[in-house]
Amino acid sequence: MSTHDPGGIGAGSEHGDEHLAASGRADSEAADHYLPGADVDEPALIDVEEVRPELADPQLVDALVAPDRAVHARMGEPLLQMQGVTVRFGGLVALDDVTFDIRRGEILGLIGPNGAGKTTAFNAMTGVYRPTSGTVMFDGASLGKAKRFSITQRGIARTFQNIRLFNEMTALENVVVGTDARHRTSVPGALFRTSRHRREERDAIDRAMALLEFVGVGGRATEKARNLSYGDQRRLEIARALATEPKLLCLDEPAAGFNPAEKESLMGLIRHIRDDGYTVLLIEHDMRLVRGVTDRIVVLEFGRVIAEGTPDEVTNDPKVIAAYLGVPDAPESEETTDAPA
Ligand SMILES: Nc1ncnc2c1ncn2[C@@H]1O[C@H](COP(=O)(O)OP(=O)(O)OP(=O)(O)O)[C@@H](O)[C@H]1O
């Protein structure tokens, strides 16, 4: 993935403040706790002492984490549809009439050589870029001109290739911020701490804690994000994206920088996420990981879809092999034939 990505949706940090303001925590004292660089000695806004210890119970965690098990009934139907999507940057066509579906309940891999358009496709479906032409349909309706926050609310969440966490916030707080996308209390409700608002806060903490357990960093809930290991930070990003209760989770090179054992364990987590009723889009360079975890793969090259199918079909496709390995040079014997005698 490139570094062009200028931002992201709800699970991304730049929207954290937006969410806080929307949920009424924009008073300066509370907001300070959420800002990167906030005074490390101040007490955390969320009293983690209150977190219920029984959340470590795996069954309860599963029950809290899985958003909508009824999704299984509609498995295989298109959830997101890229329909003839073209994205131009001036004279450069980054995506050229791209059409593919992401089906409910699947893990779809989006692969392709450097500069193929993967990030651009990701950005087109998460509201970062508006397609020059074509349509992105999600859950039966066009994303149209939807802004990133509303795309989060409609059910798309993403993680970033370059980790974007609130470093000075605890792991738990980072995930609670993600739950703000689903808060329903008004600003006055939050300011006056109505019972509904307090209940939502309580639920947000419970759910955030369950998500931390689910991704395997429950034991680090009260530590500042910056003190987590690189691998745990990646897992924390996934927990925060899941906190927005997405239907579609887009993972942008989640295994970047992982060793083989960490990759193996991440594959297990991604499968578990899918089994819990989420649909997953995965951009990943590591072919072993992509083959091992995806149900289907879409391959881009020069902004176009060149192959689509099961991992076996795609990785044996001559067009894909040529795209990755380059078209073989003309045989030497031909060159010698043409050479002057
Ligand atoms: N904001 C932008 N402005 C101009 N050109 C861009 C922008 N974003 C992407 N591009 C160009 O669009 C093409 C596709 O880039 P993109 O980042 O989507 O590819 P990618 O498949 O994600 O590549 P990589 O695997 O290297 O990250 C590239 O030629 C890239 O230089």
Per-residue pLDDT of the chain (341 residues; tens, 9 = 90+): 443 433 333 333 333 333 333 333 333 333 333 333 333 444 445 555 555 545 556 666 676 666 555 555 567 789 999 999 999 999 899 999 999 999 999 999 999 998 999 999 989 998 888 899 999 999 989 988 777 778 888 899 988 877 778 888 899 989 988 776 555 555 555 555 666 666 777 778 888 899 999 999 988 899 999 999 999 999 999 999 999 889 999 999 999 888 999 999 999 999 999 988 899 999 988 888 899 999 999 999 999 999 999 999 998 999 998 887 665 544 544 443 343 33
Q: How far is the C-alpha of 2 from the C-alpha of 161, rounded, in Å? A: 9
Rounded to the nearest angstrom, the distance between the alpha carbon of 184 and the centre of ligand 1 is 37
Nearest CA to ligand 1 atom 16: 117
Q: How far is the C-alpha of 200 from the C-alpha of 48, rounded, in Å? A: 15
Contact 119, 7 (CB under 8 A): no
Ligand 1 pocket test, candidate residues 4, 92, 98, most atoms within 8 A of CB: 4
Q: Ligand 1 within 6 A of 162 CB?
A: no
Q: Ligand 1 within 6 A of 2 CB?
A: yes
* pLDDT given at position 14: 35
How many other CB atoms are found less than 10 A from the CB of residue 114? 8
* pLDDT given at position 52: 53
Q: Ligand 1 within 6 A of 92 CB?
A: yes
pTM above 0.90, yes or no: no
According to DSSP, the residues that pair with 43 across neighbouring strands are: none
Q: Ligand 1 within 6 A of 89 CB?
A: yes
* pLDDT given at position 64: 66
Q: Ligand 1 within 6 A of 202 CB?
A: no
According to DSSP, the residues that pair with 110 across neighbouring strands are: 283, 298
* pLDDT given at position 81: 96
- Helix and strand totals (H; E) in the chain: 14, 10
Q: What is the DSSP letter of 168?
A: T
Rounded to the nearest angstrom, the distance between the alpha carbon of 255 and the centre of ligand 1 is 20
Q: Ligand 1 within 6 A of 116 CB?
A: yes
Q: What is the DSSP letter of 99?
A: E
Tell me what ipTM this predicted complex has: 0.97
Domain ranges for the chain, please list them.
Answer: 13-326
Give the pairing of strands 133-138 and 78-89.
antiparallel
Rounded to the nearest angstrom, the distance between the alpha carbon of 283 and the centre of ligand 1 is 14
Rounded to the nearest angstrom, the distance between the alpha carbon of 114 and the centre of ligand 1 is 8
* pLDDT given at position 337: 39
Nearest CA to ligand 1 atom 24: 1
Superfamily per CATH, domain 13-326: P-loop containing nucleotide triphosphate hydrolases (3.40.50.300)
How many other CB atoms are found less than 10 A from the CB of residue 27? 12
